[in-house]
Structure 1
Amino acid sequence: MSTSPQGVRQRQKEAPNGKKRTGGTTAMPTTDSSSSDGSLMNGNVGEKIEQVKQKGKEVVQRDWDYKLALAVITVLAFVTRFWGISHPNQVVFDEVHFGKFASYYLQRTYFFDVHPPFGKLLFALAGWLVGYDGSFLFENIGDSYVTNKVPYVAYRSMPALMGALTVSVVFWIMWESGYSLPACIVAAAIVLFDNAHIGQTRLILLDATLVLFMALSVLSYIRFYKLRHEPFTRKWWKWLLLTGINMSSVISTKYVGAFTFFSIGVPVAIDLWDLLDINRKQGPLSLPDFGKHLAARVIGLIVVPFMMYLFWFQVHFAILSRSGPGDDFMTPEFQETLSDNLMTQQAVGIDYFDNIAMRHKETKVYLHSHVDHYPLRYDDGRISSQGQQVTGYPHNDTNNLWQIIPSEALEGLGHHVKNGDTVRFRHLVTDTWLLSHDVASPSMPTNQEFSTVPVDDANGPRYNDTLFELRIENGKAGQEFKTLASHFKLVHVPTKVAMWTHHTLAPLPEWGFKQAEINGNKNLQQSSNVWFVEEVPGIAVDSPRLIKEERKTKSMPFLKKYFELQRAMFFHNNALTSSHPYASFPIQWPFLLRGVSFWTENDTRQQIYFLGNPVGWWFASCILAVFAGILLADQVSVRRGVDALDSRTRARLYNSTGFFLLLWAAHYAPFFIMGRQLFLHHYLPAHLASALVAGAVVEFITNIEPPELATFTEAQLQEAKKGSTRTQTQQAEGVLRSRPIRERIGGQSLVVTWAAAGVIVAALVGGFLFFAPLTYGRPGLSVEQVTARKWLNYDLHFAK
């Protein structure tokens, strides 16, 4: 199936000085093939094109209806997004995250988040523009903005502005794609009166940015595609670069923006494949010319977007120059680039025979042991070593202390531990020695058990099992081992496994006191093998080891910082697998089976419940099924020799509406293979795409085209090609094929389309108003009113 957005309209306008301008709209021919003078069917191609353009001026002059509708829709979008935006004057749902991040930017304090920085930087910009200092950290849902003097309306106005403009862009996409005014209104109204789009864009959340730039990417690509017969012109380059810039803004907000790259990448690849065809209608391209087309798209849709994406990370690093809560996610080398970093200030060199407390970097549990032993048999029947337990313990305790011992005898004290040293560990309280051996761990038969043995065994037959190599992450040979600053892996010398635990591991049973399991991991490359020494207790206060030299903030190459942050972001994003009471599965989203509780206030019985407009969601989902049925029916008919559609209608159905369907599928299907937490708001980009499909299919169903009009363009085009040069033929195709549908549908069909659009919009308005109290958080509803809105047993508050 071709997915290029066919059927888009190109119109030429007259500039105020009377000169023609090639941008914007292109003149369209009228569709009356029975014109008395038959001018469109006579004369050479140049004359026909001029006549078409002259007749198209009438179309341009009649564009006032589209412009008026766009203006009305835009005003309504601003009203629905900004109405009562100051309510509630409390922190709502994930504002605790993104409001906090904006404050960290304003304080220049380093933080960590799984999303790229662009959307969060916009919130910080809003705060900076109104002179806010970022002193409030959005700690808890329900905290008062008024009491803490937060300019929250300015923050919320940023996504509300983008949410309102999204509605206008949806209308514009349909307009540029050549659909009739009723179809444009239907598509825009599905987004305009959708409670989910409104609710998500009135709060300090990232989705408004994501959805707006996703829509702008589609619009700019359509504008670029319309100029395919004018390659390498200024406007061609403008819309190509704008497509890349908008796509970059999407992926710079959330990584699901990669779905937008795929959506546009597919038709771009198909377009390039067509350009490579030596038998293409417009004539073959030489390989050097094809290379130019390929290079232009690589630059505009890959290189420029990636450079912009990197730019926002550079801004991110430049602003966040002070130590903060994100330090723990980064390596010591990265942390040394931040001012006021506690690790840099408090790091202490570790000597042999020091007592140390080792802590796992990710789970933050201490390496711990106690007098209890592993049971003889585990629940699955496997036999253990019955050795002393080694576990992960979340609290500071004397059983967390281990003495670090050299593997070979050293004279005196004061010998520094260094990277690459082979060391041993004595558990201080029980006077036993840490080891690992070829015995399966309690819960993972593939991993080795960690245990401890008495000193006689440790210095006798089990000596080799107590040897561990100390590998400092990104450390140099002979680098000094320090508290906090040295993140390390402890690799068992005989078996080459790394000491490991993980937050996904179930805690040990009762015999292990529900503590974390520690075992040996054969995959040495995993980041979850990393530990650090939190402290060295017992150092004399006057020890020269505690004297701190004034240290300067170090620098680190940008790309090294970028790749380190990328690894951490992807790892922690994939680790978001814990359950959430309002998480939902992708199969539930198109049917709007459940929403998310954002905010409640018991005294007034007010609540904000994130939920779409059921009328719009169910209608759009049904239309997707109808469209699939239409495509199937057409294919079966063609296979049986029944050609029910003319070539133009079929091309439009498969190419333009098919492109919108691809957009929907690309933003929806990938969520089925994700293992992380998912919520209803993840469907918003796909819902916007389904609105475009709905508008297009409504027009297709209600458009009953007279047969003579259906064949008019094809016959006219064939006549125009006779005796014409290739350039003239291309010009004729570009003008004649871009005739808008609204100029070729009959008056009766137009009435049907308007009637259908009116019914749909009325239903959308009704659904929006009925659920508006849950979207705006007021007024409070009685038990009966709440119960009336539990259409699919939505888990609303105050239903009793």
Structure 2
Amino acid sequence: MSSSPNNIRQRGGKRATTPNPDSDTALLNGSASEKIEQLKSATKDVVTKEWDYKLALGIITILAFITRFWGISHPNQVVFDEVHFGKFASYYLQRTYFFDVHPPFGKLLFAFAGWLVGYDGSFLFENIGDSYITNKVPYVAYRSMPALMGSLTVSTTFLIMWESGYSLPATIVAASIVLFDNAHIGQTRLILLDATLVLFMALSVLCYIRFYKLRHVPFGRKWWKWLLLTGISMSCVISTKYVGAFTFFSIGVPVMIDLWDLLDVNRKQGALGLPDFGKHLGARIIGLIVVPFLMYLFWFQVHFSILSRSGPGDDFMTPEFQQTLSDNLMTQQAVGIDYFDNIAMKHKETKVYLHSHVDKYPLRYDDGRISSQGQQVTGYPHNDTNNLWQIIPSAPMEGLGHKVKNGDVVRFRHLVTDTWLMTHDVASPFFPTNQEFTTAPTEDANGARLNDTMFEIRIENGKPGQEFKTMASHFKLVHFPTKVAMWTHTTPLPDWGYKQAEINGNKNIAQSSNIWFVEEVPGLPIDSPRLIKDERKTKSMPFLKKYFELQRAMFFHNNALTSSHPYASFPIQWPFLLRGVSFWTENETRQQIYFLGNPIGWWFASSILAVFAGILLADQVSMRRGVDALDQRTRSRLYNSTGFFFLIWAAHYIPFFIMGRQLFLHHYLPAHLASALVAGALVEFVFNIEPGDIASLSIKDGSSKVASRTQRSRPIRERIAGQSLVTTWAASGIIVAGLMWGFWFFAPLTYGRPGLSVDQVMARKWLSYDLHFAK
């Protein structure tokens, strides 16, 4: 955004502070009353022209609602990721704790939609293709929430261009790219989060522009309103998905530039003292950081307050967290562990049991390293007698009934093979830096290898002397002499290890993936006092402690989403729309929903991005060579306003190149909206010429001769401007017509009907899109 007040226009395209050149000449020689009349006339023209924008906004908004809501009840089955976000809404309505890698705001909105229509959340959206009708799910109410947001996103795009002072044709082009885009439509007609994300990203941009336009009247009521609304909108973005951080960057950069300008003692508006600058800085910190963060925390508080019952998300949380949930099986079934009990230990993340069998490690591994040829210790996913280990005290202990406690040093005897768990300074099969786990025969375990069989039990967040229990005690098993933690991972061993998981000693003890728990103590008598459970009450836990625990789990599992997916795509493919995603198919009717953008709009917007970069490069080279091809006003608008839109696009696109998680085409939707803004702005730059943009003769005060020459040039400038306006409308009409055709042509893939013949499907495989029913 520009820092010059002359670059801010009133809505309708008229400049708010600088009269146009035609008025300049008259104002030179006219009386004060004439000047007033001229200004009144200009103001009336501004108000009149706003009706053009209002009419266009109304039409575009109606079209947005039609394209998003038409046939929204089809299909009446679970589609693609509705299995996730519909399920989460049901869990909210049932108050059942679940785990997801995304923040709660967007999912809470779906639950709110279900609550409004009185739904009880009994359907859990288990499988794609499950019938909504059979299961009596108010799915249209669910889908209406993102459809409403998708419709308002189109209107917001229009308002962004309008508030930025662009001409009506340019504004219509930008809004139409989003309005007639099949990807935006398809993603906002289903129970998915992206409609919420994109809408509030657009609202953040709109609110910031409104705030920026008030920069010369700071600390007023409207100034504070739009500052706070900017922060609240950004908070809603990051409270929906963590990629909302890109929106914070998009707004943060111009905010920092604006603050930097305020420090300049040579400002046209006068130097700003440090106390006043401190007020500006503090206001922005409050409005754009503090308030958004508090609102972000608020949604997590709502999340924890609603989800008070035990559910499928329990396993992702610590025992302390789980004890805050009612009906938690872990707290109900926890059994204290005594010495000499037989136990089965399970890894928290991979869910494999600590296992051993009589087979040995091979003499040499594939990389040539030599092993100890000891007995294999592995991770096994199924319940088996080879998973049982007897827990033995490290020092002689008389009698039975002694409790195992946190911090105890213990030993483990493998029941089936009568060998003792140990680790030593030998490299593990997959990790040369980690230690091999194996077992030792009794004579060695009680003799020369005694120290190698010693392990310390460290209960997570446990207190000294805390009782060691099944299920409730998540612990790390740390080798006492070498201080490595027992660890496993998902890469299977070769055939010699029966494709089971490798167990090794991890030198990074703090790593969260070192955590295990005891699943059961088999063989306890039915009348054992340990099986008698007292009535347990749910415990409390400070909000911030719950919040930080959930944050750690969310970030860890989000980064772990690295597995391949048949419809995953790379960021370099997105601007060119090289492939889409199959959402739903029905063989009998040959209907399908294929998530795909409007190729006309995507390719046009991507081309415009390249053109914009080329224009900036050419302008910089020209300026270096002493050629000033653009006037100051045009250059300022190009760099500041259009450049701001380009920054939004880059901030929402480029970071995906460094992400290691699964990525899909829908991740480009916020960037695509930004590219639509750039496209609209460039349409005006290329085609639209206003009278003030045309070079004219200099006007000198008191020179009637010059004024006369300027008067004679007026008809010429008006004629050129009129021709330019016609050209702009013609170019915009062609672009919008192309967008409408592309939308209509791919609409059957967006709405899932009608079914297409083989020839019709093949006609839409423009870039070898992997469509169904192509033969």
Q: Name the counterpart of 1:578.
A: 563
Amino acid at match of 2:208: Y
Determine if contact 1:171/1:184 at 8 Å carries over to the other structure.
yes
Determine if contact 2:592/2:755 at 8 Å carries over to the other structure.
yes
State how far apart, in whole Å, the 1-side matches of 2:213 and 2:315 are.
Answer: 50
State how far apart, in whole Å, the 2-side matches of 1:744 and 1:590 are.
Answer: 39
Find the partner of 1:305 among 292, 306, 309.
Answer: 292
Matched, 1:767 2:739: no
| CA deviation after TM superposition for structure 1 residue 280, in Å | 1.2
* SS of residue matched to 2:440: strand
The 1:683–1:53 alpha-carbon spacing in structure 2 relative to 1, beyond 3 Å, is farther
The 1:268–1:349 alpha-carbon spacing in structure 2 relative to 1, beyond 3 Å, is same
Q: Name the counterpart of 2:706.
A: none
Q: Name the counterpart of 2:688.
A: 703
The 1:393–1:276 alpha-carbon spacing in structure 2 relative to 1, beyond 3 Å, is same
| CA deviation after TM superposition for structure 1 residue 609, in Å | 0.2
| CA deviation after TM superposition for structure 1 residue 58, in Å | 1.7
Q: Name the counterpart of 1:143.
A: 130
The 1:51–1:469 alpha-carbon spacing in structure 2 relative to 1, beyond 3 Å, is farther
State how far apart, in whole Å, the 2-side matches of 1:135 and 1:651 are.
Answer: 57
Amino acid at match of 1:692: L
Q: Name the counterpart of 1:683.
A: 668
Matched, 1:31 2:6: no
Residues 407-452 of structure 1, C-alpha deviations (whole Å, 9 max, x = no match): 1111111110110111110001000000111100001111110000
Find the partner of 1:234 among 209, 221, 227.
Answer: 221
Amino acid at match of 1:33: D
| CA deviation after TM superposition for structure 1 residue 60, in Å | 1.4
Matched, 1:424 2:399: no
State how far apart, in whole Å, the 1-side matches of 2:147 and 2:768 are.
Answer: 29
Determine if contact 2:6/2:16 at 8 Å carries over to the other structure.
no
Determine if contact 1:39/1:48 at 8 Å carries over to the other structure.
no
Determine if contact 2:11/2:162 at 8 Å carries over to the other structure.
no
Q: Name the counterpart of 1:17.
A: none
Q: Name the counterpart of 1:461.
A: 448
Matched, 1:798 2:773: yes
Matched, 1:248 2:210: no
Q: Name the counterpart of 1:336.
A: 323
Matched, 1:670 2:655: yes
State how far apart, in whole Å, the 1-side matches of 2:72 and 2:202 are.
Answer: 24
Residues 273-312 of structure 1, C-alpha deviations (whole Å, 9 max, x = no match): 0001111111111100000000000000000000000000
Q: Name the counterpart of 1:121.
A: 108
Name structure 2 gaps, 5 residues minimum.
703-716
State how far apart, in whole Å, the 2-side matches of 1:148 and 1:79 are.
Answer: 28
Q: Name the counterpart of 1:722.
A: none
The 1:592–1:40 alpha-carbon spacing in structure 2 relative to 1, beyond 3 Å, is farther
The 1:532–1:708 alpha-carbon spacing in structure 2 relative to 1, beyond 3 Å, is closer
Determine if contact 1:663/1:689 at 8 Å carries over to the other structure.
yes
The 1:252–1:798 alpha-carbon spacing in structure 2 relative to 1, beyond 3 Å, is same
Determine if contact 2:8/2:16 at 8 Å carries over to the other structure.
no
Find the partner of 1:601 among 586, 593, 615.
Answer: 586
Residues 665-693 of structure 1, C-alpha deviations (whole Å, 9 max, x = no match): 00000000000000000000000000000
Amino acid at match of 2:388: L
* SS of residue matched to 1:256: helix
* SS of residue matched to 1:375: coil
Residues 542-585 of structure 1, C-alpha deviations (whole Å, 9 max, x = no match): 01000000011100000000000000000000000000000000
| 1:386-405 equivalence runs, <5 A | 386-405=373-392
Find the partner of 1:637 among 594, 614, 622.
Answer: 622
| 1:501-540 equivalence runs, <5 A | 501-503=488-490, 506-540=491-525
Seq. identity, %: 83
Determine if contact 2:113/2:142 at 8 Å carries over to the other structure.
yes
Amino acid at match of 1:769: W
Find the partner of 2:368 among 360, 381, 386.
Answer: 381
Find the partner of 1:206 among 193, 202, 207.
Answer: 193
The 1:89–1:7 alpha-carbon spacing in structure 2 relative to 1, beyond 3 Å, is farther
The 1:493–1:707 alpha-carbon spacing in structure 2 relative to 1, beyond 3 Å, is same
The 1:220–1:626 alpha-carbon spacing in structure 2 relative to 1, beyond 3 Å, is same
Amino acid at match of 2:300: F
- Say which structure, 1 or 2, has more relative contact order (CA 8 Å, 6+ apart): 1
Determine if contact 1:27/1:59 at 8 Å carries over to the other structure.
no
Find the partner of 1:268 among 246, 255, 259.
Answer: 255
Matched, 1:216 2:203: yes
Find the partner of 2:762 among 787, 792, 796.
Answer: 787
State how far apart, in whole Å, the 1-side matches of 2:138 and 2:573 are.
Answer: 36
* SS of residue matched to 2:310: coil
* SS of residue matched to 2:489: coil
Matched, 1:369 2:322: no
State how far apart, in whole Å, the 2-side matches of 1:710 and 1:42 are.
Answer: 27
Amino acid at match of 2:27: G
Q: Name the counterpart of 2:434.
A: 447
Amino acid at match of 2:98: F
* SS of residue matched to 1:645: coil
The 1:38–1:331 alpha-carbon spacing in structure 2 relative to 1, beyond 3 Å, is same
State how far apart, in whole Å, the 1-side matches of 2:379 and 2:657 are.
Answer: 34
Matched, 1:657 2:642: yes
| CA deviation after TM superposition for structure 1 residue 705, in Å | 4.8
Q: Name the counterpart of 2:302.
A: 315
Find the partner of 2:273 among 270, 273, 286.
Answer: 286
| CA deviation after TM superposition for structure 1 residue 119, in Å | 0.2
Determine if contact 1:6/1:655 at 8 Å carries over to the other structure.
no
Name structure 1 gaps, 5 residues minimum.
14-23, 720-741
Determine if contact 1:27/1:60 at 8 Å carries over to the other structure.
no
The 1:255–1:5 alpha-carbon spacing in structure 2 relative to 1, beyond 3 Å, is farther
Q: Name the counterpart of 1:618.
A: 603
| CA deviation after TM superposition for structure 1 residue 56, in Å | 2.1
| CA deviation after TM superposition for structure 1 residue 55, in Å | 2.1
TM-score by length of 1: 0.92
Residues 129-148 of structure 1, C-alpha deviations (whole Å, 9 max, x = no match): 00000000000000000000
Amino acid at match of 1:605: R
State how far apart, in whole Å, the 2-side matches of 1:416 and 1:789 are.
Answer: 70
| CA deviation after TM superposition for structure 1 residue 502, in Å | 1.7
* SS of residue matched to 2:210: helix
Q: CA RMSD in A?
A: 2.2
The 1:34–1:330 alpha-carbon spacing in structure 2 relative to 1, beyond 3 Å, is closer
| 1:73-112 equivalence runs, <5 A | 73-112=60-99
Determine if contact 2:7/2:636 at 8 Å carries over to the other structure.
no
Determine if contact 1:28/1:56 at 8 Å carries over to the other structure.
no
| 1:135-214 equivalence runs, <5 A | 135-214=122-201
State how far apart, in whole Å, the 2-side matches of 1:75 and 1:338 are.
Answer: 46
Amino acid at match of 1:528: S
Amino acid at match of 2:770: D
The 1:685–1:701 alpha-carbon spacing in structure 2 relative to 1, beyond 3 Å, is same
Determine if contact 1:4/1:267 at 8 Å carries over to the other structure.
no
Amino acid at match of 1:626: V
Find the partner of 2:337 among 342, 345, 350.
Answer: 350
Q: Name the counterpart of 1:20.
A: none
* SS of residue matched to 1:517: strand
TM-score by length of 2: 0.95
| CA deviation after TM superposition for structure 1 residue 31, in Å | 2.0
Amino acid at match of 2:740: V
Amino acid at match of 1:600: T
Amino acid at match of 2:382: H
Q: Name the counterpart of 1:414.
A: 401
State how far apart, in whole Å, the 2-side matches of 1:219 and 1:657 are.
Answer: 14
